[in-house]
Amino acid sequence: MQGETLTDTTPVIRKEFSSLNVERPEAITIHTIDWLISKLLDKSCIRPKSENKLKKRTSIMQNHGFRKYFETSARLAGMDSLLIDRCMGHKT
């Protein structure tokens, strides 16, 4: 720990970590998260790549597919159902 004070507004994923700028973390943008998830889904072959290079859409919705993959993997790993629901943002 570098002396950072965690609050409700502290970003979970930040742009960069600098011990000189501990108290003013800058969160990455939604666009960056979207791009990272898209690249990971393509590299991991969880989602098939689109045959049409101009068409960006695929048969599996990006974030929905990622969420379902997480849920299935967590259940197969024996994770508690209540904890899975909490991680997915469901009301318990």
Question: pLDDT by residue (tens digit) across 39-79?
Answer: 887 788 777 666 666 666 666 677 777 788 889 999 999 99
Q: Give the chain's domain count.
A: 2
Q: Are residues 30 and 59 in the same domain?
A: no
Q: Are residues 4 and 34 in the same domain?
A: yes
Q: What is the spatial distance between Cα 17 and Cα 80, in angstroms, rounded to a whole number? A: 33
Q: Are residues 1 and 37 in the same domain?
A: yes
Domain of residue 68 covers 53-92
Tell me the CA distances in angstroms from 42 to 53, 58, 78, 79, 89, one per residue in order.
13, 11, 27, 26, 25
Q: Are residues 67 and 34 in the same domain?
A: no
Its pTM stands at 0.46
Q: Are residues 39 and 17 in the same domain?
A: yes
Q: What is the pLDDT of residue 76?
A: 95
Q: What is the spatial distance between Cα 85 and Cα 72, in angstroms, rounded to a whole number? A: 12
**Start-end of H helices in 1-92:** 30-44, 62-76, 81-87
